[in-house]
Amino acid sequence: MIESLKHRPVAKRPDAVRLEGRVLFLMDDAELVRRQLAGENLSLPVATALRDNISTDEITPAYICYYYDERLGEFPYLGLKAGGEFPVSRGSVKAGGFVCSVAGKRRGKGSSREQSPYAEMCAGIQLVIAESIERIYGENCQNLGILTSTDFSLIDQVRRGEEIPLAVFTEGEGGITRGIIEYGGLFQYNVARLQGQVAVPAVATRRRPMTLAEKIIARHWVRDLSRNEVGIPYVRPGDEGFVRTDIRFSHEYVTPMAAIFWEQYVGQDQRIVDPESVFLFRDHLTFLELAMTDERKAQGLLDVAMELKQKQEEFAARQGVRLYDELPRRGPGRMGLPAGSEAICHSKILEAHALPGHLIIGSDSHTPHAGAIGSVAFGVGTTAIFNSWLTRDVRLKVPPSVLVRINGQKPPGITAKDFMLQVLRHPYVKDGHAIGKLVEYAGEAVEALSVDERATMTNMAAEVGAFTGIVRPDQQVVEYLERERGLKPDHVRPLFEGLYSDDGAEWETVIEFDAATLEPMVALPGDPGNGVFISELGDPVKVDIAYAGSCTAGKKSDMDMYAAVFRDALEQGKRVRPDVKCYVQCGSQEVKRYCEEMGYLEIFQAVGAVFIEPSCGACINAGPGVSYDRDTVTISAINRNFPGRSGPGQLYLASPYTTAASAIAGYITAWEPGLVRAR
């Protein structure tokens, strides 16, 4: 145990809390939101429905996350879209004296950024109420000390300034979550745990058939932190405890805030636990200056964003942690032009570090990417990352499991992205029932996919709202690890022992569909769950931007797809339409080298597509390919299209094939070899 924490005083919250302040209803009526910010108090039932599906992109748009301290309190809800407008201005929530914020279903979906609840907290919000709350966002609130509830009767109690028993917020929670709420946050709870003030309840689940993910979780269960005892025979949904991590990673949006917490609460000179299993990434903001508007640069936001890079570099150097950094800049002067990054974080974790049976946490909602080879990988917030540096474990309540079985043989031109757009529009998923669940993808159509294509599906577990996504490891994984990393099959196959779901394993639900019935799909603007067949679109949808890349669609197999479409177009004497801007961006330098070896860079150039070095970019409104006005239409192979995600325009999601074909046609269209298919 770190010396500075041995005698640090920690105390529980009082048995009842009194929240004195106003209630802010987040709804789909801009005028009603403005009236509240101006001082008017509303009561239930409100005249307009509460906003559903408020993503963390709306709570704190990407550019707000350049801040990583109490300045965030000026900015909550700046991206909130209400009736097509953005009614919240800088400082208005903090100035309004609000202590409670109310919304509808699936509050906090999307990115795992802890800046969102931290911004709310710094603005005075102490209680979040919603019909349903996304797992990562909800955990981030609890870790920071924000109270959460789905009980709308609390609103009147807040208005009257009444004391609310703390038990209202802990009722039904497991022992750990209850302790975190009682101690006012995860760090305080962990200090009490290290000091022996808190005993984590033991798990006594009896023999039962388990799913693949449950087995991996059981193997990593921390029985006793002080004795380094790990692993139990069985777990079941609802069991709560801590699990030992094999890999912990974070990127420049998160590392600086976690580093600040470390320095404030633990000490700048204290070393993190097991730094060899920690990886840091400079990937999200590499191309920011090319996408940032002159107005935001004039506001000093580029300088603020560069603080993130510097803080992460300093922390990595001090801690001796591997940093996958940006590449040296091109051109004269120290600044020069951005030259990309070594890799997108979860792309590199799969390429170089994850193994079947691993348990991995990352500061990104798309951490489940590594589930493609049979790892349990899930996103966590800043506070969880910070605490994992102290304990090497992370809290976990075993979620129920969901099986997505895709049968049959997919038609040519159908991809894993089409599978996912079909899954996302399934009522069970679209209505939020998959939130926080362990999702396993299976069936002969999934087994036929490459590891890269499986990673598209596990990556987009984030859009499902799932805890993680996973595919059973098989011969495809053996060949992948041998080809990509040079691992010997005899070393890999023993890792598979027991890595399958038992007969009789408990599934909350099973979603099945026949791959043979699928057509190429797009998700209409606003949400990845808005999937339709391209044949159902009606009038042609003209596109202005085609963005082919990101972690979801920047892998080697994705590059194969773009190249196939573009090669086909060149053979027909076609190029990217002059009125379409087309960008291709890969997920790592390894993928770029593959493109060089295959001759794809020449194909991209010849067809009129702009190749961009590896990095996050347009997918987080921070690189070439973003829209700059509401009328711009983008077809994109990325994973999500929440409002403002890639600029203010209309963003359609599609497969790599469709994205490339639409760049050639100038409107959204599917592709078949030899032609751009008419709808």
Q: 396-434 b/e with 16+ CB inside 10 Å = b?
A: bbbbbbbbbbbeeebeebbbbbbbbbbbbbbebbbebbb
The H-or-E segment that residue 395 falls in is strand 393-397
Res. 310 pLDDT band, cuts 50 70 90? very high
pLDDT at 330 over 50: yes
Domain containing residue 31: CATH number: 3.20.19.10
Same domain, 119 and 232: no
Same domain, 528 and 513: no
Same domain, 285 and 325: yes
Tell me which of 500, 518, 536 is where a domain ends: 518
Question: pLDDT value at position 377?
Answer: 98
Res. 7 pLDDT band, cuts 50 70 90? confident
Same domain, 118 and 215: no
Same domain, 472 and 543: no
Question: pLDDT value at position 621?
Answer: 78
> What is the number of domains present in the chain?
3
Question: pLDDT value at position 359?
Answer: 98
Residue 486 lies in a domain: yes
pLDDT at 576 over 90: yes
pLDDT at 673 over 80: no
Residue 367 lies in a domain: yes
Indicate the range of 120-134, 183-197, 417-431, 527-541 predicted with least confidence: 183-197
The string of DSSP letters for 428-471 reads HHHTTTTTT-EEEEESHHHHTS-HHHHHHHHHTHHHHT-SEEEE
What's the token pair of residue 260? 């600040």
Residue 2 lies in a domain: no
Mean pLDDT of 165-178: 92
Domain containing residue 482: CATH number: 3.30.499.10
Res. 331 pLDDT band, cuts 50 70 90? low
Distance of CA 351 to the CA centre of its chain: 18
User: Counting Cβ atoms within 10 Å, is residue 340 exposed (0-12), middle (13-18) or buried (19+)?
Assistant: buried
Same domain, 264 and 358: yes
Tell me which of 160, 192, 211 is where a domain ends: 160
Question: pLDDT value at position 332?
Answer: 55
Amino acid identity, position 597: E
pLDDT at 678 over 60: no
pLDDT at 94 over 90: yes
Distance between CA atoms of residues 230 and 248, nearest Å: 17
Same domain, 548 and 652: yes
Summarize pLDDT for 95-147 with one digit per residue, the tens: 999 999 999 999 999 877 889 999 999 999 999 999 999 988 998 999 999 99
pTM: 0.85
Residue 266 lies in domain: 203-518
Summarize pLDDT for 625-658 with one digit per residue, the tens: 899 899 999 999 999 998 888 889 999 999 999 9
Residue 333 lies in a domain: yes
What residues does 651 pair with on adjacent strands? 634
CA distances from 57 to 117, 275, 521 (A): 12, 31, 24
Residue 186 lies in a domain: no
Same domain, 628 and 538: yes
**Residue 292: closest CA among 651, 547, 650, 647:** 647
Question: pLDDT value at position 374?
Answer: 98
- Provide the pairing of β-strand 650-654 with 610-612: unpaired
Res. 679 pLDDT band, cuts 50 70 90? very low
pLDDT at 675 over 60: no
pLDDT at 338 over 80: no
Distance between CA atoms of residues 103 and 148, nearest Å: 12
Question: pLDDT value at position 336?
Answer: 56
Q: Chain-wide mean pLDDT for the chain?
A: 93
Note whether 476 and 493 are within 8 A (CB).
Answer: no
Question: pLDDT value at position 8?
Answer: 83
Mean pLDDT of 38-63: 90
Question: pLDDT value at position 676?
Answer: 45
Question: pLDDT value at position 1?
Answer: 60
Same domain, 308 and 406: yes
Peptide bond into 45 cis (omega under 30): yes
Res. 334 pLDDT band, cuts 50 70 90? very low
Residue 170 lies in a domain: no
Tell me which of 518, 541, 571 is where a domain ends: 518
Same domain, 577 and 474: no
Question: pLDDT value at position 110?
Answer: 81
Res. 550 pLDDT band, cuts 50 70 90? confident
Indicate the range of 4-8, 136-140, 350-354, 532-536 predicted with least confidence: 4-8
Residue 444 lies in a domain: yes
**Percent of the chain with pLDDT strictly greater than 70:** 98
Same domain, 376 and 332: yes
Summarize pLDDT for 345-375 with one digit per residue, the tens: 999 999 999 999 999 999 998 999 999 999 9
Question: pLDDT value at position 542?
Answer: 98
Residue 50 lies in a domain: yes
The H-or-E segment that residue 39 falls in is none
Same domain, 237 and 126: no
Indicate the range of 420-424, 594-598, 644-648, 674-678 predicted with least confidence: 674-678
